[in-house]
Copies of this chain bind each other. A is one copy, B any other.
């Protein structure tokens, strides 16, 4: 049996849902999920569909061609097709903090996060021990002013060599290069330790503490050229009070960061996120 997920968007038009569902039935696909969203002010239509195809005769390339010929061209659809049997390959970039990394590895191991992890990359060697524990290749790629260009090349080579589908910055404390962002557009997921757009940039917990906020947050988003300004996938918050020191903010924040990042990764891996302008459509 084959299970496919299709994400599509186009200008809102009459008859799309009927056309797509009719097509799936005609192809003997058993629709197991269908959801759509219309952004009326902008006249944009988004749809996510999951379907089972019984038997071994299913051929994705043929199906795509047929879908595009009959539906895609007619409605000027933008489509992405994903086979459930093909797990996405996720590179994990870290620095020295281990809390997000532990969560990613534990969830991946338990099967809750259905991605392969070809390697972990860090600008420090501190977390190599964790990579070893989980038997995942670890690359130490230090970044300094002088080595920056070289480091970028090493990163790009590793990503290509391992055929990486997307990158997670699991508290990676370096600005990612424009070249990387270009090549992995909408494919780099970051966790920022504040409730964006409040407190972008460095030391958000310190800024939150100084401002005297009563709630702190964390935000997972796709990385774009502008720092901490990319499309938001998921956010969550935690209460703080005057009793909490900066150290408390950081500790409470760690739990937020890992929970929010993992939620975002699961949504991405399960093909539930569509980027749209600088926003996301997140299907349930």
Binding site for B on A (CB under 8 A): 14-15, 17-18, 21-22, 25, 32, 34-41, 98-99, 102-103, 106, 109-110, 112, 133-134, 195-199, 211-215, 217, 231-237, 241-243, 245, 251, 254-255, 259, 262, 276-282, 284
Contacts and interface: CB of A to CB of B under 8 A. Distances in A.
B251 A232 contact: no
B18 A242 contact: no
B198 A242 contact: no
B235 A214 contact: yes
Nearest to A36: B34
Contact of A110 (B17, B99, B133, B199): B99
Nearest to A194: B198
A251 B198 contact: no
B251 A112 contact: yes
Given A34-B36, A98-B106, A237 B212 contact: no
A39 B255 CA distance: 25
Given A198-B197, A212-B279, A232-B214, A25 B18 contact: yes
A154 to B, nearest CB: 28
A21 B32 contact: no
A216 to B, nearest CB: 10
Contacts of A198: 195-198
Nearest to A134: B133
Nearest to A197: B198
Contacts of A39: 242
Contacts of A242: 37, 39, 276, 279-282
Contacts of A40: 32
A99 B213 CA distance: 25
Given A241-B282, A282-B241, A17 B34 contact: yes
Given A17-B17, A25-B14, A280 B212 contact: yes
Contact of A35 (B35, B102, B112, B234): B35
A9 to B, nearest CB: 12
Contacts of A277: 212
15 contacts: A14-B25, A18-B21, A32-B40, A37-B242, A99-B110, A102-B102, A196-B213, A197-B199, A212-B232, A212-B277, A214-B232, A214-B234, A214-B235, A215-B217, A242-B280
A213 B241 contact: no
Contacts of A281: 242
Given A15-B22, A34-B36, A214-B232, 15 more contacts: A14-B25, A17-B18, A18-B18, A98-B110, A133-B134, A195-B195, A195-B217, A197-B213, A212-B279, A213-B232, A214-B282, A215-B236, A215-B237, A237-B237, A242-B276
